[in-house]
Chain A
C-alpha cells in the first residue's frame, strides 16, 4: 500500500518549487562541521574554567573567540557553497533497516543541510552571538569567579543547539537543536538560581516549550510514516515529484502543518503559548537579547519557512498561521503599552513582532518574514542591550517611571542614541530597516487573498501604530526629559553605596558601548539588503534577502513567484486576476505612506503623553480607571489580559488536582483496598479456622475423626462413580 503510494509520488510530475534534485552530497565542505564544534569547544573550555575556579574573564574570551570563529566560517561557507543546497554528512546517529523498500528503514544522522535559508540564519546567529558574548564579558562582571563560567557555558550550549537546529539536514536533528535551545534557555533564564522568580520562569519556559515540542515530535512521526523520510532533501524531492492535492486527501497531509505550527508557536511565543517569553526576562539581559529576542525565538519562523511546502499543501493551515500571528501581534502590543518594566515592554514587543513574522508566513511572504527576522534581530538586540546597560548601571532599575533624561547624563549618550536607533527601527520610521521589512508583510496582507486577510491587514497597521507608541513611550520617558533617577534593588557591595542619596550610576564602558554601536549600525545597515540584489529575476523584488529565500525550500513565498510557479497555492494565492488596491494604489506602494504615517502618529502621541505633558498620561489612566464601562481595559492590559491566570485555572490547577486525585486513588483504592485488602483475605480465613487449633486433645480428636471420615467418604464416592480415574 505504502510502496504504491510512493510510486505514485515518483511517477507524477509537478512543477518543482526548488530544484532539489540538484542538491548534492558534499564531502569537501566537511569543515563546515567546525561551525558546530566551536561552540562545543567553548563549552568544554568554560567547563574547565569552572572546574578550576578561574577568577578572570577567561571564559568570556574563550567563548568570544570560538563564536567569532564560527561566524567567520559561516561567511566562508556562504562564499563557497553551491546553490541550491548541499548536504554535508558528519556522523551517524540512528539508523535502522529491516528490509528493502520505502518504509523499511529509518535514518536520522548528524548531517548539515546548507542552503541560503540556513546560511542567512547562521550568519546573523553567530555574528550577533559573538557581539553579545563580548558585551556580556563586561555585563557579567559582578559574577566573576562565581557564575561567570557557568553563564558562558550556557551561551555556548545555546549557540551549539541553535546552529544544530538551523543547519540540520533532517527533522530529528532539528528536534535536537529545538530541545537544545530550550534547554539552554532554561539554563540561562535560571542563571540566578537563588531567585525563586528566575527558577520559576526557567521551568515555565521549558515546560511551555515542551508543549510545542510535542507537536514537533508528532509531526516528525507523521512525516516519517507518510513520506518514509525525515530528511529535507528527500522530503522535498518527494513533494516536488507530485501534485499532492490532486491525489491525496489523507488527514495526515492536513495534520502535519498543524503539528508543526504548534511547535513553532511554542518556540516563537505565539498565542496561546507566548506566556513564557515575558517571564524569561528573569535571565541576564544579554541572554534576553540573544536568545529571547534575536535568535532562538525565530526558530519557529525558520521551521515554518523550512517546511513551507508542507504548509502549502494545506492552505487552511496558512490561514491559521496568519490569524494567530496577527492577533498575537495586536494582543502583545496592547500589553506592551501598559507595562512599566522596560525589559518586559521589549519582551512583549518581541512577541508582537514575531506575530508579524507569522502573519508574513501566513500571507505567503516568506521573504517578508525572513527579512523581518533579519532586521528584528539587529534592532531588538540593540534595544535589549541598551536596557541591559541601563539595568547594569542603575542597579537593576527597569521602571520607566523612575528613570528620565539619560541622554543628558555623562557616559549615557551612546546608550541613548543607540536606543533611539533601535526604537526608530522598531517603530517603522521611514527608511529604517524595520520600515522596509514590516511593510513587506503589511502590504502582502492586502495583496494575498484569504479569509479576512484585509481585516488582518488593518489589524497589523493598527498594531504598527501601537508599536510606535509604546516604543517611544520608553525612549521619551527614559532617555528624554529632565534628568532624574532612582537606583534599583540590586545594589552590590562594591558600590559602597548606602541608600539612595549616594548612588552613582556607573556608565557602560568600552565592551558594552562598542557592541551597542556596532549592532546599532547593523540595524541601520540592515535596510540596505532591500536595495541590493544579485539576481536578475525581474519577478522578484526585495533584494538580497529575497535572493537568499529564493534558493531555499521557502521559495514559494516570494513576491512574484507565488501565483506563477506554485501550483498548489490556488486557495491562498495572490489574486491573479484583479490585483487588489489600497487607496487606489498598489498595496506595496500605498503601504510606504500608510505605515509611515501610522508610525509617525504613534511617535507623536508618545511624545505628547510622555515627553511634553507627562502628567497627562497618568491623568488619562486615571480617567479610564474612574469610568466603570472602560476601566476594564487598562486593568486587563496591565494584568496581561489575565492569560497567566487563565492558564492556571484551566490547565495547571485541574492537572494538579488530578494528580492529587490519582495519588489518593493509588494509595487508598488500588493499594489499600485492592492489594492490601486481598492480602488480608488469607489472614481472615486463618482467623476463622483458628479455633480448630485450640490445642485441646479432645477437639483435635474430633477434628481428626471428622477429617478421616470425609476422606473415606470421598474415596468411596470416587471409586463408586469411577470419575477419579477419568480425571487422572
Chain B
C-alpha cells in the first residue's frame, strides 16, 4: 500500500492545489512533497531488499485479467534508490521555485506534483503498462512547465521536447508489445508483468528478434538519456525550462532512460546487448567528448550545464555497457550523483538568473565578491561534477571507467569493451575540468561584472537567503556522504545488479576475451 501512496499522494496534492486558492499552492505543494518524502523514507527503512535481489512494496490491482493486464508495483534496491532521489528532489524543487514563479502558481505547483507522481510511478512500476503509462505521462506536466513558465523560445522547445521523446517512446512501445505478444503466443495467455517478460525474453527470443527489440527499446531510451546523436532536444528544453523543471529534467527524467536500459534492455535481450554494446559504447564515448567540446564554446551557463549532461550521461551508459558489477554499480551511482550535483547546478543558475535575468557569461561575472555563499556552493558542485575524489562524482565516474576498462577479460564477468574504450572516455575527465573551470573562472572569479541596468532583485538579497541555502544544503551533504561513504549504497544495490547481470558471464563470446590482457601465457 505504501507504494501506491507514494504514487498517489503527489497526485492528491495536485488536486488539493488546484482546489485551493493560489496563495496557498506553494505551501500545499511543500507539505505534500514533504509528506511523500517522509513516506518514501519509511518505505526505505521498512524495505528488506537492501543488499539482496528481493522486491519490496509489492502490490497489484487486477484490471483486465483475461488480457493479463494488472497494475502491479514493487521495487528492488535500485528502483528504491531512484525513487528516493525523486522524493528528495521534489521538496527542494518546490522550495527552489518559492519566489521564482509569480503567475499561475496553482498550475505550476500542480503540474510539478503530477510530474512527481509520474516519475515515482516509473520507478515503482512492476508491470509494463503502468511503466509505460507513467513513462509517457512524465511528458505532459513537463510540456506544460516548459510551455507556460519557460523563457522566450518556450513554445517551440516544449513542442520539440514532447514530440521528440514521444516518438522515441512509441518505438519502445512497439518493442515492448512485440515481447508481450511473443510471450502470449508462447504461453497462450497475456502477461505484462516485467519479471515475466524479462524472464521469457532472455531465452524465448531468437537472436535476430533480440536485435530488433533492442533497437526499439534504444529508440525510446536513447532519446531520453539522451545519447548522441539524438540529444538535441535537451539543450533547448533545459535552456527554456523554469528552474525546477530543469532540475527535475536533469535530476530524474534523464535517468528514466538509463533506468530503462538497466531494467529492460540489459536483462531482456542480453545476446543483442553483447553484440551491440561496442557500437553503443562508441556512441556514448562520442557523446562524452562531443558534448564536452560543445560545452567549451558555450556562453550561456545553463546551456553549458545542459550539454554537460549529454557528456556525463555518456559515462553512465558506458558503465551499463561494461556489463560487469563495477560498471553497473558505477552507472547507478552515477544516476544518483548526477541528479544531486547537476540538479544543484541548475538550482544555482536559477538563483543567479532570478537576480540578474541573464545567464550570459559575457555579461555577468566575478560574482564571488558579491555573492560569496552562492560562489562557494557553485564551486563545490562544480567540483562534484568534475569528479573530485572525496565527492560523489568521483566514485561513480571511477567505477564506470574501471568497469569499462576491465570489461575485457577479467575473470567472473568478461565483457565486450576494454581499455581503449575507457581510455577515450577518460579524456572526458580532462575536458570536463576544462569547461567547468572556465565557466567558474568567468562567472565566479574575476572582477565583478553585472548586466547594465539590471541590479539585484528587489525582493531577494544580494547573496543567498536562508531558504535558498536550505535548498542547496541537503544536496551538498548528499554529495559529501556519497563521496566518502558510497559503500552502503553499493552494498545495497548488489543483489539487484547481480540479477540484472545474471545472463552475462556466459554470453560473452570467447573471441572477446582477447581484448583484455594480451600475451599472457598461462
Interface residues of A (CB under 8 A from B): 1-5, 8, 91-96, 98-99, 101-104, 106, 172, 175-176, 178-180, 183, 186, 190, 193-194, 196, 199-200, 202-203, 206-207, 210-211, 213-214, 217-218, 220-222, 224-226, 247-252, 655-656, 658-660, 662-663, 666, 670-671, 674-676, 679
Contacts and interface: CB of A to CB of B under 8 A. Distances in A.
Given A213-B429, A666-B294, A250 B445 contact: no
B383 A183 contact: yes
Contacts of A251: 518-519
A217 B369 contact: no
Contacts of B491: 95
Contact of B429 (A94, A95, A217, A659): A217
The 3 closest A-B pairs by CB, nearest first: A176-B389, A103-B411, A221-B405
B402 A224 contact: yes
B55 interface: no
Given A183-B383, A662-B290, A250 B402 contact: no
Contact of A103 (B233, B412, B423): B412
A2 B433 contact: no
What is the interface residue range for chain B against chain A? 35 or more
A96 B366 contact: no
B229 interface: yes
Interface in B444-482: 444-448
Contacts of A222: 405, 419
B326 A96 contact: yes
Interface of B: 160, 163-164, 229, 232-233, 290, 293-298, 324-326, 329, 366, 368-369, 383, 388-390, 394-395, 398-399, 401-402, 405-406, 408-413, 419, 422-423, 426-427, 429-430, 433-434, 437-438, 441, 444-448, 484-487, 490-491, 494, 498, 513, 516-522
A225 B408 contact: yes
A225 B395 contact: no
B517 A98 contact: no
B293 A662 contact: yes
15 contacts: A1-B409, A92-B487, A95-B487, A102-B411, A103-B411, A206-B437, A218-B405, A225-B408, A250-B518, A250-B520, A252-B518, A663-B293, A663-B294, A670-B232, A675-B164
B445 A2 contact: no
Contacts of A194: 366, 369, 445-448
Contacts of B485: 91-93
Given A207-B437, A225-B408, 20 more contacts: A1-B409, A1-B520, A2-B411, A93-B484, A94-B398, A95-B491, A96-B329, A99-B411, A101-B411, A176-B389, A194-B445, A214-B430, A221-B401, A225-B410, A226-B517, A248-B519, A252-B518, A655-B296, A666-B232, A670-B232
Contacts of A247: 521
A203 B406 contact: no
Nearest to B366: A194
B433 A220 contact: no
Given A103-B411, A194-B369, A679-B163, A214 B520 contact: no
A377 B368 CA distance: 34
Contact of A224 (B163, B324, B366, B406): B406
Nearest to B402: A221
Contact of A210 (B294, B422, B430, B516): B430
Given A8-B522, A94-B490, A656-B297, A104 B412 contact: yes
Contact of B422 (A104, A183, A213, A221): A221
A184 B410 CA distance: 36
A249 B429 contact: no
B433 A206 contact: yes
B519 A104 contact: no
Q: Is the interface of B mostly helix, strand, loop or mixed?
A: helix
Contacts of B163: 679
Contact of B390 (A4, A176, A211): A176
B445 A199 contact: yes
Nearest to A249: B519
Contacts of A675: 160, 164, 232-233
Contacts of B388: 179-180, 183
B520 A106 contact: no
Contacts of A3: 411
Given A103-B412, A217-B426, A659-B294, A175 B433 contact: no
B441 A203 contact: yes
Contact of A193 (B427, B433, B446): B446
Nearest to B324: A98
B358 to A, nearest CB: 20
Contact of B517 (A93, A220, A250): A250
Contacts of A176: 389-390, 394
Nearest to B235: A666
Nearest to B156: A676
Contacts of B406: 103, 221, 224-225
A303 to B, nearest CB: 15
Given A5-B522, A218-B426, A675-B232, A203 B402 contact: no
A225 B485 CA distance: 24
B522 A4 contact: yes
A202 B518 CA distance: 41
A670 B516 CA distance: 35
Contacts of B294: 659, 662-663, 666
A50 to B, nearest CB: 9
Contacts of A103: 406, 410-412
B394 to A, nearest CB: 8
Nearest to B295: A659
A95 B488 CA distance: 9
Contacts of B433: 206-207, 210
A175 B307 CA distance: 27
Contacts of A252: 517-518
Nearest to B498: A98
A1 B522 contact: yes
Nearest to A190: B445
Contacts of A104: 411-412
